[in-house]
Structure 1
């Protein structure tokens, strides 16, 4: 028996199977690396929340009531979620609360409930409305349509944002 006859040589089929088996994890790693590269290139990797507040409006109380609501659009251009945890104002009477309207049983009725916080998703917007999240408060005496009321919105991760809300009549669709 010659030395050449004693050497084992893989068949062409076995070599092809081994190459295919090695190619699958290499391709999966390449796809994952490409996705991560695109995510980092878009500036989303590890970026903190970037909060901007706009379209502040507060309803003019009706009749003898001082109870009213304020609404804001809160945009988060960052790569991480945040939460609106508190709203303050020096121009209101008493406490200010975050609240949300919820449907009760089959959508036939709705009720308002105070909430501890409201989510502001990464890359998304929280648009407060009378049918969703809002800020409940007691209006100061003498507010008129068109007045500006100062507010500070406090977030779980972002710095507080000072803004103004314009006093509008209920039913006024201008933002």
Structure 2
């Protein structure tokens, strides 16, 4: 009759095994806690979802072709995005993003900007007193005409939309 040498865990082997397992379990718990906090703070929201409405473009007057266009850009998603460029097949030359404001002494100014933030869950409402688009109109525009535009964003797909040609002072504040 032969005697089998059965392996039996010793107290030291069990302690070493538990310590070896505790490190990855603690690391996973810490990572899960961090991710839960990140999501709970709203930092892991859905991607930006852009919607563009209320397109208006001023009818140029006084022999000038320079004018301004305005849109309401909503971001229904959970992440900020940036409007970086606007194009149109019915305008001449480049369309620039502009910001209007007043100095401390009350003088008005206009500055071209490279991009404009569309905040998560928020809206960018363009107006003559804030952000707008500066462009050169093609000859022959009349009030009521529709002008196609494409708004390009940093993260979202381009959005094609139209703006109605209006007389200055009609429907834009």
Same fold per superposition (TM over 0.5)? yes
The residue number in structure 1 matching 2:130 is 132
- Given that residues 82 and 118 in structure 2 are in contact (C-alpha distance below 8 angstroms), is that contact kept between their aligned partners in structure 1? yes
RMSD: 2.2
TM-score (norm 1): 0.74
Residues 38, 117 of structure 1: CA spacing in aligned structure 2 closer, same or farther, 3 A cutoff? closer
- Aligned-pair distance for 1:163? 0.2
The size of the alignment, in residue pairs, is 140
1:50-88 deviation digits (Å, cap 9, x = unpaired): 000000000000120000000000000100000000000
Per the normalisation by structure 2, the TM-score is 0.75
Q: Show CA shifts across 1:26-52 (max 9, x none).
A: xxxx9x96995696xxxx833100000
Unaligned stretches of 5+ residues in structure 2:
1-32
Find the aligned partners of 2:68 and 2:172 in 1 and give their Cα distance.
16
Corresponding residue of 2:55: 56
Q: 2:100 corresponds to which residue?
A: 101
Superposed counterparts of 1:53-132, under 5 Å: 53-106=52-105, 108-132=106-130
Unpaired runs of at least 5, structure 1: 1-29
Partner of 2:62, secondary structure, is: coil
